[in-house]
Amino acid sequence: MAQMVDDDPRIIEFDVRTDEMLVNMGPQHPSTHGVLRLVLRTDGEIVSQVESHIGYLHRCAEKIGENLTPRQWIPYTDRMDYLAAMNMNLGWSLTVEKLMRYQVSEKARHLRVLIAELGRLASHLVGMGAYGLDLGTFSPFLYAFREREKILDLFEETCGARLTYSYLTVGGATADLPPGWLEKCEAFLDQFTPLIAEYHSLLTTNAIFVKRTAAIGILSEALAIDYGCSGPVLRGSGVDQDLRRDGESIYTSMYDGYAFEVVVQKNGHYPRDHAYPPVPREAVVGDSWHRFYVRMLEVVQSVDLIRQAMDRYSACRGPLGEPLKINEKLPVGDAYLETECPRGQMGFYLVGDGTPIPWRARARSSSFSNLSVLHELCRGCLIADVPAIVGSLDIVMGEIDR
H helices present in 102-260, as ranges:
106-134, 139-159, 181-192, 196-199, 207-213, 221-226, 232-235, 243-246, 249-252
Domains of the chain, by residue range, sit at: 64-356
The CA–CA distances, whole Å, from 259 to 67, 255, 262, 269, 303 equal 40, 8, 10, 19, 12
Q: Give the DSSP H/E element, type plus range, for residue 340.
A: strand 333-341
Q: Give the DSSP H/E element, type plus range, for residue 319.
A: none
pLDDT at 1: 45
Q: What is the mean pLDDT of the chain?
A: 88
SS3 357: coil
Q: What are phi and psi of 126, to 5 degrees?
A: -65, -45
Residue 328 pLDDT grade (very low, low, confident, very high; cuts 50, 70, 90): confident
The CA–CA distances, whole Å, from 147 to 50, 116, 150, 255, 300 equal 35, 17, 5, 26, 14
pLDDT digits (tens, 9 = 90+) for 13-51: 555 566 788 888 877 777 677 788 889 888 888 888 889
The rounded distance, in Å, linking the Cα atoms of 299 and 302 is 5
The rounded distance, in Å, linking the Cα atoms of 328 and 351 is 14
The rounded distance, in Å, linking the Cα atoms of 152 and 162 is 5
H helices present in 193-345, as ranges:
196-199, 207-213, 221-226, 232-235, 243-246, 249-252, 288-315
Residues 6+ apart with CB under 8 A from 258: 113, 305, 308, 309
Determine if residue 47 is left, alpha or beta; phi over 0 gives left, psi from -120 to 50 gives alpha, anything else beta.
beta
Q: Cβ–Cβ contacts within 10 Å for residue 280, how many?
A: 17
CA dihedral 157, 159, 162, 167 (to 10 degrees): -140
pLDDT at 291: 94
Q: What is the average per-residue pLDDT within 388-392?
A: 91
The rounded distance, in Å, linking the Cα atoms of 9 and 323 is 87
Amino acid at 395: I
CA 395, distance to chain mean position in Å, is 7
Residues 369 and 229: beta-carbon distance below 8 Å: yes
pLDDT digits (tens, 9 = 90+) for 45-84: 888 888 989 888 888 999 999 999 999 999 999 988 889 9
The CA–CA distances, whole Å, from 333 to 63, 78, 328, 364 equal 18, 25, 15, 19
Residues 228 and 369: beta-carbon distance below 8 Å: yes
Residue 265 pLDDT grade (very low, low, confident, very high; cuts 50, 70, 90): confident
Q: CA Rg, the chain, in Å?
A: 23
Residue 274 pLDDT grade (very low, low, confident, very high; cuts 50, 70, 90): low
Residue 276 pLDDT grade (very low, low, confident, very high; cuts 50, 70, 90): confident
Architecture of domain 64-356: Orthogonal Bundle (1.10)
Amino acid at 31: S
The rounded distance, in Å, linking the Cα atoms of 366 and 175 is 29
What share of the chain has pLDDT > 70, as a percent?
A: 94
Residue 266 pLDDT grade (very low, low, confident, very high; cuts 50, 70, 90): confident
**Can the peptide bond before residue 232 be classed as cis, meaning omega within 30 degrees of 0?**
no
pLDDT digits (tens, 9 = 90+) for 174-185: 988 999 999 999
The rounded distance, in Å, linking the Cα atoms of 120 and 133 is 20
